[in-house]
Structure 1
């Protein structure tokens, strides 16, 4: 039987130089990939520093956190030093091995600025907001360096949003109408942004400094044990043989990877380099192949329990237990992936695409026998969260277990060197989230200091005339716009701060409001023109990025529809839902997604005409929307279309015979 490595080489025909080209293309899309490589003493220093960063978090996780602002300041200090060393200020410096003086100076200043809060903590508390000239200078320096770090790691979109809000803080008296305010002095703004827990050191950085870092470290160890390849192999064994198998492998593996991944583009790179060439080889159009992986990888950010680390932030912002967030997100996420799965199935049937021969695929029982133990930490961590452990304690247990269970078999066993350098990998992996959270904290600080959040909510309500469906449309467009090119955590922080309050004022349950903006912020990754996941998929498939984005949006149609449904029917989020009601909602939504997916692809039992597609879309939407009348109407429509297409297909077969 051909193993997975053989399958990669012989079935895909993916040469090493092609893989390198793909990696370089993806680096241009995701700033976090542009990490400079050092050698010699500098490389050793970076490794030791990053390992100390992880040890600090493990130590405080076990023995108790520092005071909130101190914990966050040390976290930011470690992170900024690594950012300014690993992410060069100039593109020309990416490929040499020198530590250039400007980056070294910025790294030192970036490390010292948060430590000023640590060393002067008691005095700052005693002064209770009365700032000295030194405080002001350190605060300005800290804010500027956070913005520069965001430019290097996260990219220009979030920097532009941050600068817009900072400008608004100073230019408030000149803002139009309801958005006007008295304006802030430099001292007022910096004092709020840098010396309180309302700005840079606010809730986003606090969550990054506790839950998120440990979960990223947990993910780094899982990846080093080979769990990612285990997911891909398992997906191949379970779905590779089915009609259009490689596309279904992409959906399944991306969903599994999404449980630990924090980036749509990284997910595309991780699974897409394997699945996209397979889809093209099978006969899928290159734009469609890239779109399947882009839509699936984007869905990974919607999949519990991690949800791109946004689940932890949402629990803090909404003020409900983390497991309630996980429960609420489960049915919408499964419906989203079901929609993509059905889309790939109907596309395969339309083009008569078969799966991969079973003798070329790994056997599921062999995969579980050899590497099934790698999934034990994931199972245990979910169990611990369910029974009431804090996310931090659960993550610590997961880190420990991921190392222990890897020792069960020789082929997955980690060496001491791998265990130690897993600490470095975790620290490096946390930098993007850390910087995004710090930058997003600046936005939150301006919003809370100026009161613009409530003003924006009032403006949106006035613009929509108090009509909920119009309000949802406005918030959807706002969330997509704000989410373009922004990573998951910062994406959610921005949309929940700017757009969610408007929905809450309209009477939408707070969890449904936050989940609504979260979904549409994430969907920006596949929505043209700025569709980073689609661009990443096109980079691998060789397709057109814009067409790939359009195809990905069609496949991800569930993400555009489901949020509207759970706003009107919160039962889908398990809010005040009975078991019978929940079962009814789930079953009818599954049937509805089949109708919607068939309408998007233009194929059901046979090729569909324009009017059949419209009816299937209408019937599917009615079934997705819970309610007895809509369910019955939707079922009747889809039943009639099924009967009609079955008879049309039989007639076509009779003519052929």
Structure 2
């Protein structure tokens, strides 16, 4: 009986309840006025976010302007109020009504958040000046407790437990449960409450600020797109293009989930939305229940790393690292795309291994890939042409460019809706088998015309992000504004063009779609809003206590100072946290503790690890939170659709996601994979990026073939090992070159000034610095990558910020404290320059310009690949593509 219950397929109603329970709240009050209040509150939240995001348009002058310290409390007030009304306290709690206790908790929690808004001036003069009142401390304590309870309801107990542990650690400081390594004096209760709630950091710090300014708009944008019908359009388009291939439903699941990932920030909703159609069809062509669910999980979870709309953690990177969102997109693009291409190939290999049939007349994967490449190239050239066209228009008519572009955009929109009106509306049930079990896949020619207007808001988003270089908030606002216009007008316009439909009824339906989309967007934000606020507790604790530096030192000690071992430990740490924390909270915790350590330990090994690479490393392992057994929510959602075992589904999904696990290690050791140091503003840089993409894609396909045990035929162990070796060589060719030729030429540290003077401007010199640690006094060391300035003579030395100590007896190349305000000062801030033992340059490494190109090792790799091909061709029984 238990097995039957576990392995049964859920109904559509149960699946929607599953999504609601995790994303929007499972409570659906039967009392009309309560349901209306929840809906109106969610609607008001969306309208508030649109108001504070509008970039001072003509109507902006009539509304008051709020700063970030005022918008964050209001944002949290909405989140906690809806959390207590929408999420039951227990599984046994009523779902058709809101108990009086929950009303009381919602009102009090909202009041504690709004207190920070209404009494901001008072707090500035008291608590934030170090003089909190007793009432303020009590309000803060109540607010933190209720926030943790809201987090428990919306996200499960993990984040609440972690937050409570960090609070207890900050307060007690020492104790038998606290290791001496991270012990401290402890904060007073007043100081703790001030830091966590009353100050501008803590709960109301950067994570909540990102949720307020960026994340809400992107979630709302996706919700409106989905409500307009874009989700169904993308799924149908994927099936029309890929459904006829071997294992076509699985390939369509991957591509459909990638496109749905553009509009859905929730991997669970992605699983249920696309999986409802893809999983039964995957099972029909030969995938087991667990395999079908695993393919859907692996493809849905990766939606969070797919530009241009990534998960909430990507927006946190913008604030934590101090780079633009466009740069985050640039660095994330290649790994995300090759990860999806590899997953398509993985399911293709599964289809070959099981000799799965195609649905309908078979087609060629290579031909499909060629058609996609041609379409992508045409789109790319069209986009570039549009950039030059608008640029030329702006040069000729600068004052009229905006109105002309808006009129042109409106005309294109009306034209695309007119094209869509001539087609039959897409019915999601078209993908379901008929009574006799037959399936008729949609045709690309019939599908692609029905939803081209959905691409326009995505284009607007990309335009403002990539071309206009606007902020994520402003870009999302313009894209959402266009989406609001589309969702209201598309139905009336279709009715107008079809002539037989009622325009009034269509307009009314459009307004209902608008309201439903605004409400759904806000309800989908409840968990994120609460999670980012609760995660602020952890961030504040890290900054107020020594746990950040000392825990990092512990990990460094456990790894023996070896970077690869430390990366494995950090990955395992993320996976363990991922068993209970959502991706965003997982990223905040691990990046706060470990990202800087990856950079510093890499420097000690002589490896310059970009900070963005360290954060992406944490981010990639964070997204595994929804996959990792035994509590991966996406795996449970997929099992609910497929009727398979959720634990087994999670393990298979993790196996399919090995490429996502491998990529972070690869771009730590080869940052070119994330286009670090590649200038996309030049033709040479673009060509370099294209080369990196092609080589990385080829390598990832070989990695997928090795891990799946199938290439041209079933692979033997030694063949899989050879494929892994070839893939590794293409990913990190420098590894082999470093074994043959040194990367740098060592020079005398005492002659550093001469080495610097003789170096070419713009080149890099690596310096090994060693000296006493400022906190412990122990000898430590780090590696700096120094860019050679353009200046000449002493001015070149001055621009570096380094100052050599004159006539240092017994200590060659000893350093004075670096010049104030220079980057070098921050890099060397951990050293004690006033100790008896001097800080000095122990090693100077200049680039070895006479090395062979690393790509020379592609030749033996290709020869080894050729050997694998020859061995497997003898056993090949079916076409490879």
TM-score range, shorter chain: over 0.9
Which stretch has the larger CA shift, 163-172 or 149-158? 163-172
The aligned residue for residue 477 of structure 1 is 572
Counting helix residues as a fraction of each chain, which structure ranks higher? 1
Which stretch has the larger CA shift, 208-217 or 312-321? 208-217
Rounded Cα–Cα distance in structure 1 between residues aligned with 2:460 and 2:150? 36
Rounded Cα–Cα distance in structure 2 between residues aligned with 1:312 and 1:94? 36
The aligned residue for residue 79 of structure 2 is 79
Rounded Cα–Cα distance in structure 1 between residues aligned with 2:10 and 2:641? 13
The aligned residue for residue 5 of structure 1 is none
Rounded Cα–Cα distance in structure 1 between residues aligned with 2:67 and 2:110? 19
- Aligned-pair distance for 1:17? 6.8
Which of 685, 693, 713 pairs up with 1:586?
693
Which of 392, 399, 417 pairs up with 2:480?
399
Say whether 1:327 aligns with 2:330: yes
Q: 1:473 to 1:404 in 2, by over 3 A?
A: same
> Does the CA-based 8 Å contact 1:339-1:555 persist in structure 2?
no
> Does the CA-based 8 Å contact 2:247-2:351 persist in structure 1?
yes
> Does the CA-based 8 Å contact 2:673-2:696 persist in structure 1?
no
The aligned residue for residue 618 of structure 2 is 517
Rounded Cα–Cα distance in structure 1 between residues aligned with 2:730 and 2:255? 24
Rounded Cα–Cα distance in structure 1 between residues aligned with 2:474 and 2:719? 53
> Does the CA-based 8 Å contact 1:201-1:441 persist in structure 2?
yes
Which stretch has the larger CA shift, 592-601 or 359-368? 359-368
Which of 34, 49, 65 pairs up with 2:41?
49
> Does the CA-based 8 Å contact 1:456-1:502 persist in structure 2?
no
Q: TM-score, normalised by structure 2?
A: 0.69
Question: What do the CA deviations read for 1:410-442 (whole angstroms, capped 9, x no partner)?
Answer: 279752232233322221111111011011111
Q: What SS does the corresponding residue of 1:197 show, helix, strand or coil?
A: coil
Which of 411, 415, 420 pairs up with 2:510?
415
The aligned residue for residue 307 of structure 1 is 310
The aligned residue for residue 519 of structure 2 is 424
Which of 699, 710, 718 pairs up with 1:611?
718
The aligned residue for residue 11 of structure 1 is none
Question: What do the CA deviations read for 1:476-527 (whole angstroms, capped 9, x no partner)?
Answer: 1112222223222222212211221211222321100000011011123223
> Does the CA-based 8 Å contact 1:272-1:540 persist in structure 2?
yes
Structure 1 runs of 4+ with >6 Å offset? none
> Does the CA-based 8 Å contact 1:261-1:308 persist in structure 2?
no
Which of 8, 16, 19 pairs up with 2:12?
19
> Does the CA-based 8 Å contact 1:483-1:495 persist in structure 2?
no
> Does the CA-based 8 Å contact 1:262-1:301 persist in structure 2?
yes
Rounded Cα–Cα distance in structure 1 between residues aligned with 2:88 and 2:353? 48
Q: 1:16 to 1:41 in 2, by over 3 A?
A: farther
Q: 1:546 to 1:243 in 2, by over 3 A?
A: same
> Does the CA-based 8 Å contact 2:24-2:86 persist in structure 1?
no
Q: 1:648 to 1:91 in 2, by over 3 A?
A: closer
Question: What do the CA deviations read for 1:613-639 (whole angstroms, capped 9, x no partner)?
Answer: 222223223223344255334322222
> Does the CA-based 8 Å contact 2:23-2:523 persist in structure 1?
no
Rounded Cα–Cα distance in structure 1 between residues aligned with 2:578 and 2:628? 10
Rounded Cα–Cα distance in structure 2 between residues aligned with 1:468 and 1:132? 47
The aligned residue for residue 487 of structure 1 is 582
The aligned residue for residue 28 of structure 2 is 36
> Does the CA-based 8 Å contact 1:231-1:257 persist in structure 2?
yes
Q: 1:154 to 1:626 in 2, by over 3 A?
A: farther
Q: 1:624 to 1:424 in 2, by over 3 A?
A: same
Rounded Cα–Cα distance in structure 1 between residues aligned with 2:549 and 2:856? 37
Q: What SS does the corresponding residue of 1:200 show, helix, strand or coil?
A: helix
Say whether 1:544 aligns with 2:645: yes
Rounded Cα–Cα distance in structure 2 between residues aligned with 1:630 and 1:539? 47
> Does the CA-based 8 Å contact 2:670-2:731 persist in structure 1?
no
> Does the CA-based 8 Å contact 1:89-1:152 persist in structure 2?
yes
Query: What pairs with 1:242-641 in structure 2 (closer than 5 Å)?
Result: 242-357=245-360, 360-386=440-466, 387-406=468-487, 407-408=489-490, 409-410=493-494, 415-506=510-601, 507=603, 508-577=609-678, 578-627=685-734, 628=855, 631-641=858-868
Consecutive unaligned residues in structure 2, runs of 5 or more:
1-7, 55-59, 362-438, 496-505, 604-608, 679-684, 735-854
> Does the CA-based 8 Å contact 2:699-2:730 persist in structure 1?
yes
- Aligned-pair distance for 1:461? 1.8
- Aligned-pair distance for 1:277? 0.7
The aligned residue for residue 215 of structure 1 is 218
Question: What do the CA deviations read for 1:543-585 (whole angstroms, capped 9, x no partner)?
Answer: 2222222221221111111111111111111111244443333
Question: What do the CA deviations read for 1:360-386 (whole angstroms, capped 9, x no partner)?
Answer: 222223222222111210111111111
Computing the radius of gyration from Cα coordinates, the structure with the larger value is 2
The aligned residue for residue 414 of structure 2 is none
Which stretch has the larger CA shift, 257-266 or 185-194? 257-266
Rounded Cα–Cα distance in structure 2 between residues aligned with 1:336 and 1:115? 43
Q: 1:32 to 1:451 in 2, by over 3 A?
A: farther
Q: 1:82 to 1:647 in 2, by over 3 A?
A: same
